[in-house]
């Protein structure tokens, strides 16, 4: 009887610890979700994504319904840089491709643009309660400085809003505590600026330098 009582006490303690763990994670997720929400609604912003594994930068300048989205393939010494740019207004877009050897352009295209414009992602929003609970149960959270910013370092498991690498060591995300913005996930690093994009940032290159297709 005493043995059974001890077992029940141990089980109760374990369940209490797990419950506190889940509650703490949920509270942190909810706080980050709330802090980042105003940025997801921004209409004037600049986002830069550096993809370290492929040595590419992906940038978006957005002002109201106008945008330019570009990918630069940063080349090693002796190899020319490649650049892909899209300028759009929500209905049509113009694409400019510079391979380093040749420049081509396609104008007034409709449909899905590639590269498409990036937006601020709220990782913790828009998922069913059971998925949210599963993510909170299996994620680990620590506090760590990254690039001079106070962040939550989260081993983020089972988020439907992220693309995962096969290597679990790359499942760590760094979220700035002050803003809730995702600054790093795996090999990808993000930079943000808000209310800084001007018409000059959305100016298209000289079409005379491109072969129109």
Query: Is there a domain that residue 204 lies in?
Result: yes
| CA 140 to each of CA 44, 50, 157, 163, 192: distance values in angstroms, whole numbers, following the listed order | 33, 25, 9, 18, 25
- Beta-sheet pairing, 211-212 with 103-109: parallel
pLDDT in tens, the chain (213 residues): 677 788 777 788 888 888 888 889 889 999 999 999 999 999 999 999 998 877 889 999 999 999 999 998 876 655 667 889 999 988 888 999 988 888 999 888 877 767 788 999 888 887 778 888 888 888 889 999 999 999 999 887 666 556 555 666 667 889 999 999 999 988 889 999 999 999 999 999 999 898 898
Query: Is there a domain that residue 10 lies in?
Result: yes
Q: Are residues 72 and 131 in the same domain?
A: no
Q: Are residues 15 and 54 in the same domain?
A: no
* Domain range for 69: 44-119+194-212
Distance CA 147, CA 45 (A): 20
Q: Are residues 208 and 113 in the same domain?
A: yes
Q: HSE of 124 in the Cβ direction (CA atoms, 13 Å)?
A: 24
Report the pLDDT value the prediction gives residue 196, as an integer from 0 to 100.
96
pLDDT tens for 104-142 read 998 888 777 677 889 998 888 877 788 888 888 888 899
CB 45 within 8 A of CB 36: no
Q: Are residues 64 and 110 in the same domain?
A: yes
Query: Is there a domain that residue 189 lies in?
Result: no
Q: Are residues 36 and 52 in the same domain?
A: no
Token pair of 121 as six digits: 């992602």
Number of domains in the chain: 2
Alpha-carbon dihedral angle through residues 103, 104, 108, 111, given to the nearest 10 degrees: -110
Query: Is there a domain that residue 188 lies in?
Result: no
CB 90 within 8 A of CB 109: no
Q: Are residues 10 and 57 in the same domain?
A: no
Say what the pTM is: 0.84
Residue bearing tokens 């803003």: 179
Query: Is there a domain that residue 187 lies in?
Result: no
Per DSSP, the residues of 50-93 read EETTTTEEEEEEEETTEEEEEEEEPPPTTS--EEEEEEE-SS-E
Q: Are residues 71 and 162 in the same domain?
A: no
Q: Which residues contact 46 (CB under 8 A, 6 or more apart)?
A: 59, 60, 61, 62, 191, 192, 193, 194, 196, 197, 201
């Amino acid at each position: 009887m005493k043995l059974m009582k001890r077992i029940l006490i141990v089980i109760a303690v374990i369940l209490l610890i797990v419950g506190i763990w889940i509650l703490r994670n949920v509270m942190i997720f909810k706080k980050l979700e709330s802090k980042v929400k105003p940025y997801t609604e921004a209409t004037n912003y600049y986002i830069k994504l550096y993809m370290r594994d492929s040595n590419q930068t992906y940038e978006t300048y957005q002002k109201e319904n106008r945008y330019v989205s570009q990918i630069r393939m940063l080349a090693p010494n002796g190899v020319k840089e490649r650049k892909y740019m899209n300028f759009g207004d929500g209905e049509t877009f113009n694409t400019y491709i510079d391979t380093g050897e040749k420049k081509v352009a396609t104008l007034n295209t409709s449909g899905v643009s590639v590269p498409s414009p990036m937006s601020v992602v709220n990782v913790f929003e828009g998922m069913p309660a059971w998925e949210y609970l599963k993510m909170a149960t299996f994620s680990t959270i620590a506090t760590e400085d990254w690039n001079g910013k106070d962040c939550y370092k989260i081993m983020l498991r089972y988020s439907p809003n992220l693309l995962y690498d096969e290597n679990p060591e790359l499942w760590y995300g760094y979220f700035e505590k002050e803003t809730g913005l995702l600054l790093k996930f795996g090999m990808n690093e993000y930079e943000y600026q808000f209310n800084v994009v001007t018409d000059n940032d959305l100016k298209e290159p000289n079409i005379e330098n491109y072969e129109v297709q």
